[in-house]
Structure 1
């Protein structure tokens, strides 16, 4: 069984740490320009961040993680204490008007200015518990008029199993069935972002140029997220932890479960950013193999068009391609994938193989 990473346990010496607590969490909103930083790092600095899943805290689950997970056979000592404390806190949340997510932050990055890029390098993403929840609620998801089949909420409890030394998610194929479906785990954060300009705290569900709830499952350990800085210090934040998610996230949530993430922050000055990537209008992901531009819009067709435009602009800036040749290359060699269709603003991302330009 994966060990339980309670708050403060297992933090290596010399690495800054941002715990999840009432003073460092927002529920259903993203940190904004007026929020005071909970942590500060220099460009090049590393931070360990604890994140919490909202499952077990939501009002339709009783806002009682101990009671909720007891009902799934989880002993009290295997429920995260910071989750229990937050649920019992005075934190305000509107089930109707706020998002569901618990968001940890904000992190001020010294020297980051509007126009720069903030690179968040994900060094590690470690499960804090060996279980999670997959939910379809509120009549949302890809089939909002069809599921849940009854009621306003249907949640499936998922376990982490070890098979030949590898971790898998596991759910029963039907209620009370002994047969199970198993799937590979790829822990990542659905929410990473920077504070949008303006005094209003943005809703946590729709993603945008600030990042936020982009739900791109390629943002696992070893990846980098580039975000256009909108306010001084960037004010980065983290949330919506997943153990696994299929592209599309059609049911509304993926395997939601708390993670501990280690991230390194890098400020890229505007001049250098434009030379490397062109003028980025929104998030860009990089892995060892791919450059991953993004496109977003409430209309999935327009989200795809925006992603194609972003990919053409990236190829022109990064590799000196002619626009017409970039368009042709994308058609022949690049997969355009639906990131998610459940976050009000839909997302598409492209996988451009870096090796094609070696």
Structure 2
């Protein structure tokens, strides 16, 4: 029997617990301003929520996780009940219209109002299963038209089938990806939630793929345990949600997906209503974050060059706001010592994340937050 965290079973670390109930989750779209919360909490409460990976249940994989994972040697007893139930349900999911992601929530925070800032602190991420999937499909990813490779004799103009590889977690705690000839690649795991966000102020359907000022599908691999993501609240209650769980991802996420696999996440949701934090969030173009050792700024735009410019501008704004560093000095510092990485190039809106080490700034007289 594989080690699984089935819904309603196993450790729950938070004050509240939210399952990925197939009747309540959002599949392919994000909660919007009209969404009804499935849970309401106070600022500072901790919430444990289960997340489902979309990989293994999509139509191009047969929408049959038993058959899909069974072909990779994973028995039916090794499947998560909520995943099987969702795939077998009558929930409509058309990949031509919807995004792939399964999203748990939304969670309302009492007293949250537009302009406030919701801080999401990642306290713990537990693997719900010891396997997941890495996919390249439909000519997407960093090399559309080159991968997936067209099989020999494939009819001209016919859709190229997806390539979905099942990876596992080895007894050494490393990811294991079969090469196909008896060998396998091993790599370290670094779990995180690809989607964390708040509802945008719209009644329109919000596709799950492109990230934005609401957060959403940010796919920043540094937002794992210990990270704190700050999201500008756009609707009353904030309406927080999470999904798109990963066991690991390389910067760029070049195939289309990374090691997509289900997690049980425990998060602390804290509302910031002070004028200073509200003012900083209003001046930034995207959500911002920090880890124990770094400040993180994000740049989001369909044009990767413009995403880079956004990230640099937000870094300048943060350095001016938090550390009173003049723009020309801050730009020189960023060029000399900070790092800017490509988060992902596969979500339509591309992402850059800038990493500013806190150690570089520790000697400065920092204003109170």
Give the TM-score, by structure 2 length: 0.93
Task: Please report how far the alpha carbon of residue 13 of structure 1 lies from its aligned counterpart in structure 2 after TM superposition.
Answer: 7.9
Q: Tell me which residue corresponds to 2:178.
A: 172
Q: Which residue of 1 aligns with 2:10?
A: 10
Pairing of 1:242-281 with structure 2 (within 5 A)? 242-274=246-278, 279-281=283-285
CA distance in 2, matches of 1:2, 1:193: 31
Match of 2:291 in 1: 287
**Which residue of 218, 221, 225 corresponds with 1:221?**
225
Q: Which residue of structure 2 aligns with residue 340 of structure 1?
A: 344
CA contact (8 A) 1:189 1:240 kept: yes
CA distance in 2, matches of 1:200, 1:128: 33
The 1:335–1:2 alpha-carbon spacing in structure 2 relative to 1, beyond 3 Å, is farther
| Residue aligning to 2:146 | 146
How many angstroms apart in 2 are the aligned matches of 1:94 and 1:54? 13
Q: Could you tell which deviates more after superposition, 280-289 or 295-304?
A: 280-289
Contact 1:275 1:317 in 2 (8 A): no
2:327 matched residue in structure 1: 323
Equivalent residue number for residue 185 of structure 2: 181
What is the match of residue 83 of structure 2?
83
Match runs of 1:189-204 below 5 Å? 189-204=193-208
Structure 1 residue runs of 5 or longer lacking an equivalent are: none
Instruction: Give RMSD over aligned pairs.
Output: 1.4
- Partners of 2:116 and 2:332 lie apart in 1 by 30
Once the 2 structures are TM-superposed, how far is the Cα of residue 180 of structure 1 from its aligned partner?
1.1
Q: Cα distance, 1:14 vs. partner?
A: 7.1
For residues 132 and 13 of structure 1, the distance between their equivalents in structure 2, rounded to whole angstroms, comes to 23
Aligned counterparts of 1:97 and 1:13: Cα–Cα separation in 2 = 36
- Structure 2 distance, partners of 1:2, 1:67, is 17
Pair 210,14 (structure 1): closer, same or farther in 2 beyond 3 Å: closer
Q: CA deviation at 1:314?
A: 0.4
- Quote the residue 1:20 is aligned against: 20
| Distance (Å, rounded) in 2 between the aligned partners of 1:332 and 1:34 | 46
Deviations 1:69-119 (A, max 9, x none): 111111111100000001111211111011001111100011111001100
Cα distance change, pair 344–13 in 1 and its aligned pair in 2 (3 A): closer
Q: Which aligned segments of 4 or more residues in structure 1 are displaced greater than 6 angstroms? A: 275-278
- The aligned length equals 353
CA change 1:122–1:161 in 2 (3 A) is: same
The 8 Å contact of residues 24 and 106 in structure 1, kept in 2 or not, is answered as: no
> Counterpart of 1:72 in 2: which secondary structure?
coil
Residue pair 2:6, 2:128 contacting (<8 A) in 1 also:
yes
SS at match of 1:162: coil
Shift of the 198–160 alpha-carbon distance from structure 1 to 2, 3 Å rule, reads same
The 5 A counterparts of 1:14-93 are 15-93=15-93
1:137 aligns with 2:143: no
Structure 2: distance between partners of 1:104 and 1:278: 27
Shift of residue 277 of structure 1?
6.4
Aligned twin of 2:234: 230
- Retained in 2: the 8 A contact 1:277–1:317? no
The alignment's TM-score, normalised by the length of structure 1, stands at 0.96
* CA positional deviation for 1:12: 3.7
